[in-house]
Amino acid sequence: MSSRTLPLLFINLGGEMLYILDQRLRAQNIPADKAKKVMNDIITTMFNKKFLEELFKPQELYSKKALRTVFDRLAHASIMRLNQASMDKLYDLMTMAFKYQVLLCPRPKDILLVSFNHMDAIKDFVKDTPTILSQVDETYRQLIEMYTPLSHGEFQLIRQTLLIFFQDMHIRVSIFLKDKVQNSNGRFVLPTSGPVPHGTQVPSLIRIFSCTGEELSRQQFNNGGNYNAALREGSFEIFGDRVTKLGTNMYSVSRPVETHMSGTSKSSAQHTKVNAAPNPLAKEELNLLARLMGGLEVQKPGNTDSGFRVNLFATDEEEEEALISRPDELSYGVINIQATKDLQANAELAKIMGEFTESGDQSPGASSKGDDLLAMMDGL
């Protein structure tokens, strides 16, 4: 699996999260100053220097729950609050939108263009705040430095890693169902039309060559689709035309979105729970969270009255119903890891993590508590 996948996964999911929250803030008529504060606070936390240093270190992907924990913390980095059902729905929309974009990329390298579309939108959210804007520009430079030199094979490995991460997620989204790009079982429908990858030809011709490279014959065939050549390649610079629309905002106030758990996902989740097995990456999961959370400087609102709740459902009743009907296996608890620069706290966390992995003299109670936390982390 590719060790360069995590930053792209985080940035693209983060971009989708901001699109959705922006749409909901507008739909619920949240005052402009509060809505802007929410977006600014989340983006400031996303692009925190210390946090990004940990994120950009070469490392393998960890479990969905580890990443979900980070986004739970990130979504509550401001005065906005989401209850469990709305947070579940937010994460479902984020992941399914990015999964669809990865599937539609004409070539693996275009995943970087999708990431830049998300970055362009994030930059537009904070265009009037120079300090945050500089953080976003620095991330642009890191992305360009890390990813533009990669080969086509390395981008293919990144794409495969992302698809493996998303392969068991089949949440039905109303927008996708309405546009007939998603089936009722939650699986996406890939088109047999549109532009072919840049640098390739429209399929319709078979050429046969001799061992010396001389063309011997040509044969036309019906490609079964409506393909056309790519006009130009998208720009991989900080400023430029990305060409692709993948990664741009597909939400609007007039186009609400709903999510529905497919039967496949329910049975898959239950199957996972029954066939539980210890995960050897548990220690690495905790270490990853400790490092990432250490970089998340979440500021608590000084005045509790200034906070407000955002509902991703049409009504509070729908939200409550979704919370009750949600399968237990898919309800993620937030693991509260203190996100400060306090070295003593970090040292204490490291000590606790060490105790989880020790196989020496442990009391049954201590062992079970450690097992419970690891189970929560890894979906055992």
Q: SS3 of 169, please?
A: coil
At 217-226, the pLDDT tens digits run 999 998 888 8
Average pLDDT over residues 52-73: 85
Report, as an integer, the average pLDDT of 271-298: 51
The verdict on residue 33 lying in a domain is: yes
Nearest-angstrom CA–CA distance, 12 and 88: 18
Residue 293 burial by CB count (10 A; 0-12/13-18/19+): exposed, middle or buried? buried
- Give the pLDDT band (50/70/90) at residue 288: low
State mean pLDDT over 318-324.
Answer: 65
Domain that holds residue 163: 5-187
User: For the chain, how big is the Rg over CA atoms in Å?
Assistant: 23
Contact 236, 144 (CB under 8 A): yes
Give whole-number Cα distances, 111 to 8, 14, 70, 141, 143, in Å.
Answer: 8, 15, 22, 17, 12
User: Is the residue at 192 inside a domain?
Assistant: no
Question: What is the pLDDT, as a whole number, of residue 323?
Answer: 64
Task: Answer yes or no: is 262 within a domain.
Answer: no
Within a domain: residue 312?
no
Q: Is 80 inside any structural domain?
A: yes
Mean pLDDT over residues 298-313, rounded? Answer: 58
**Higher local confidence (pLDDT), 360 or 28:** 28
Is the pLDDT at 18 greater than 90? The verdict is: yes
Residue-level pLDDT at 99: 95
Give the pLDDT confidence score for residue 83 in this predicted structure: 85
In a domain, 226, yes or no: no
| pLDDT score recorded for residue 349 | 45
Least confident stretch, 45-54, 204-213, 228-237: 228-237
pLDDT at 366 (0 to 100): 41
Task: Read off the tokens for 42.
Answer: 């989340």
> Given this model, what pLDDT does residue 312 score?
66
Q: Which whole number is the average pLDDT over 102-115?
A: 93
DSSP character at residue 106: S
pLDDT score of 10:
94
Reported as a pLDDT band with limits 50, 70 and 90, residue 243 is confident
Q: Is the pLDDT of residue 104 over 80?
A: yes
Instruction: Please give the tally of structural domains in the chain.
Output: 1
Which residues have CB under 8 Å from 321's CB, separation 6+? none
Q: How far apart are the first and last CA of the chain?
A: 21
Altogether, the residues listed in the chain come to a count of 380
CB atoms within 10 A of CB 16: 25
For residue 15, give Cα distances in angstroms to 39, 46, 123, 292: 11, 10, 10, 18
Vertex 323, ends 322 and 327: CA angle to 5°?
90
Question: Where does the pLDDT of residue 358 fall: very low under 50, low under 70, confident under 90, or very high at 90 and above?
Answer: very low
Which of 17-31, 54-68, 149-163 is the least confident region? 54-68
Residue 147 three-state SS: helix
117 or 356, greater pLDDT:
117
84 lies in a domain?
yes
Q: How far, in whole angstroms, is CA 180 from its chain's centroid?
A: 23
Q: Are strands 80-81 and 226-228 parallel, antiparallel or unpaired?
A: unpaired
Please give the structure tokens belonging to residue 135.
Answer: 């953080």
Q: Under 8 Å CB-to-CB from 124, ≥6 apart: which residues? A: none
Span 100-110, average pLDDT:
93
- Residue 299 has which token pair? 């500021």
- Which residue is associated with the tokens 């106030």? 253
Q: Label residue 317 exposed, middle or buried (CB < 10 Å: 0-12, 13-18, 19+).
A: exposed
Q: Is a pLDDT exceeding 60 seen at residue 282? A: no
Return the higher-pLDDT residue of 365 and 285. Answer: 285
Residue 64, SS3? helix
Confidence grade of residue 8 (pLDDT, cut at 50, 70, 90)? very high
> What is the model's pLDDT at position 264?
43
- pLDDT averaged over every residue in the chain: 76
CA distance 187 to 190: 10
Distances from the Cα of 272 to the Cα of 186, 267, 378, angstroms: 18, 9, 11
Looking at the whole model, is its pTM more than 0.75?
Answer: no
- Residue 108: its pLDDT value, please? 93
| pLDDT at residue 334 tops 70 | no
| Under 8 Å between Cβ of 161 and 62 | no
91: CB partners within 8 A, 6+ apart = 68, 71, 332
Residues 6+ apart with CB under 8 A from 179: none
Please state, in angstroms and rounded to a whole number, the distance separating the CA atoms of residues 269 and 274. Answer: 9
Reading phi first (left if > 0) and then psi (alpha if -120 to 50, else beta), residue 78 is in beta
144 domain-assigned: yes
